[in-house]
A = this chain, B = another copy of it.
Amino acid sequence: MQPLVMLKMARSLSRLLTGCQRFASPPSVYAHLCHSSTCLPFRSSFVRTMGALPFSFPLKPRDFSLPNSAWSPEMTRLYDFYNNQCEVENESGEKQKGPWRRLPSYNRTLKYATGGAYLSKFIQSKNRLFTRSIKTAGAAFEYVMFLNKEEQRCVCIFQAGHLLEGPPGHVHGGAIATMIDSVTGALAAFMSGAVMTANLTINYRSPIPLGSTVLLESSVDNMEGRKTFISCKVTSTDGSKLHTEATALFLAIKVSHLLGM
């Protein structure tokens, strides 16, 4: 790799990371940094630079939060419901931002995206975000999150695949905990920047059948200094059945601490 290209990549990646941190990076000690759904997508300068590289690297990372053929009609319906509220028309017929915002979701961390010494690790790293590590559509975690800034809420539409089994025919408690951590972490990160999960308290009320689509709704309970308190409910999509209730506590952190800088 030519030094100039390396330098351009390092700069681009460095800018990218800075952007992510500024935006309010993500979930947690137990959430994610720049592969998190709260992260900005790749910038064009980065894409251009990567395009000149003499090795294979996806120019445009896959956004796992977009619909695919494995999504159930119910999941697609709910996606459309929230997605249609991401951009709305005002009285003059002009399009403007709506109350909701869809969070893109990638499977690679950008933890090494500080350029220079970490660059090769970034390219070579096999690490994948836990919830996106199985690529087969519909097999594991299918989900998309939407944020409502004004209401300080995050909703997640989650379809549980057949690789998430715990009790016979039902979703593993750990898989539910994983989604709760992810959703509450995304909201906490949106509110407070980079955060780490400090506590999860989960009450399982009713098992979730494999293959079903459920709704996770989280909201901010309180904020005190570095602490963000979030609550979350997992229900059937019509809200009639409560599957799980949870509270979560997140602590704001310096990202550099996690990156070992």
Contacts and interface: CB of A to CB of B under 8 A. Distances in A.
A153 interface: no
Contact of A174 (B127, B169, B174, B199): B174
Contacts of A163: 127-128, 130, 133-134
A217 interface: no
Interface residues of A, number: 59
19 contacts: A29-B204, A31-B166, A31-B173, A110-B168, A111-B168, A125-B162, A130-B172, A133-B140, A133-B163, A168-B258, A170-B258, A173-B177, A173-B185, A174-B179, A175-B178, A198-B203, A199-B201, A200-B200, A201-B201
A88 interface: no
Interface in A171-197: 171-182, 185, 196-197
A28 interface: yes
A207 interface: yes
B29 A162 contact: no
Contacts of A134: 133-134, 163
Nearest to A27: B166
Nearest to A209: B260
Given A133-B164, A196-B204, A181 B173 contact: yes
A33 interface: yes
A95 interface: no
A33 B168 CA distance: 6
Contacts of A181: 166, 172-174, 177
A233 interface: no
A51 interface: no
Given A29-B167, A111-B169, A173-B29, A162 B200 contact: no
